[in-house]
Amino acid sequence: MSRRLEGKIALVTGASSGIGRATALAFAREGAAVVVAARRQSETQETARQITGAGGRSLAVATDVSSEPQVRALVEAALRTYGRLDIAFNNAGIFGAEGPMHAVTTEYWDSIMATNLKGTWLCMKHEIPPMLEQGGGSIVNMSSTAGLTGWSAAALYSASKFGVVGLTKSAALQYAPAGVRINAVCPAFTRIESMDSMLATAPAAGEQMAASIPLGRIGTMEEVAEAVLWLSSDAASFCVGHALALDGGQTLGLW
């Protein structure tokens, strides 16, 4: 059976752990060479080691997506190593406890927007030109269910993720005629390493999260990775500008 991404070159930001690492590993299993990027250098190199240890090809590049010189260098490294760029998953993002919006600092606003929204734009800014030159490509941006509905506990995070959806849809309109498909994924609560640490000390929080989802459980990294894989593949060749909710029904309505 042929692998879905055989011969493709993929780039994943935020690949040092969580959904980013799970997606990078999924891309590699499906035949892609994967450039993995994140701020945490040793963890990013570990993702690359897992890929190469399983017989795949990977390059690790330490990158802060809020820095345009670093994003430019990341894409240049991918092109220099593999000669093209077919797929990008712009996953890097941050989240922090906010509380009431009027009490949040300007520094927090600047930080979360610089990574979640500006970082997504910078990645697309530098990923799109080589895709245009080669006649097409696929980009998937990481948003959230908080980018589809308001979230009282995290207004600024929600604003950043709404921005990612708007950026995705607008960019999709600009570049679809040139064969570059741009979509977004919007996960609800997803079981990643940082959540495991939190739930170990506050198991009731996990119960509250699950209770907000009609399916009655939190999502998994692998479920999100599978959706990103599909959007990135030729199987989704007619999917453009979509913000895919991976939420167990959370955003359907009152629950």
Fold (topology level) of 9-244:
Rossmann fold (3.40.50)
Under a CB-based contact definition with an 8 Å cutoff, are residues 221 and 18 in contact? Answer: yes
Under DSSP, is residue 148 helix (H, G, I), strand (E, B) or coil?
coil
Q: Is the pLDDT of residue 209 over 90?
A: no
Strand partners, 184: 141, 243
Count Cβ atoms below 10 Å from residue 208 Cβ, excluding itself: 10
pLDDT digits (tens, 9 = 90+) for 158-196: 999 999 999 999 999 999 999 999 999 999 999 887 677
Residues in the chain: 255
Burial-class residue 204 by CB neighbours within 10 Å (0-12, 13-18, 19+): exposed
Angle among Cα 45, 133, 227 to the nearest 5 degrees reads 50
Q: What are phi and psi of 229, to 5 degrees?
A: -60, -45
pLDDT digits (tens, 9 = 90+) for 118-145: 999 999 999 999 999 999 999 999 999 9
pLDDT at 20: 97
Count Cβ atoms below 10 Å from residue 221 Cβ, excluding itself: 22
Active-site residue flag, 175: no
Under a CB-based contact definition with an 8 Å cutoff, are residues 181 and 239 in contact? Answer: yes
pLDDT at 207: 83
Indicate the pTM of the whole model. Answer: 0.95
DSSP β-ladder status, 219-220 and 243-246: unpaired
Angle among Cα 208, 96, 27 to the nearest 5 degrees reads 85
Distance CA 240, CA 44 (A): 30
Q: Is the pLDDT of residue 9 over 80?
A: yes
Of 82, 108, 157, 175, which residue is the catalytic one? 157
CA-CA-CA-CA dihedral for 83, 224, 61, 30, to nearest 10: -40
Distance CA 120, CA 142 (A): 8
pLDDT at 198: 66
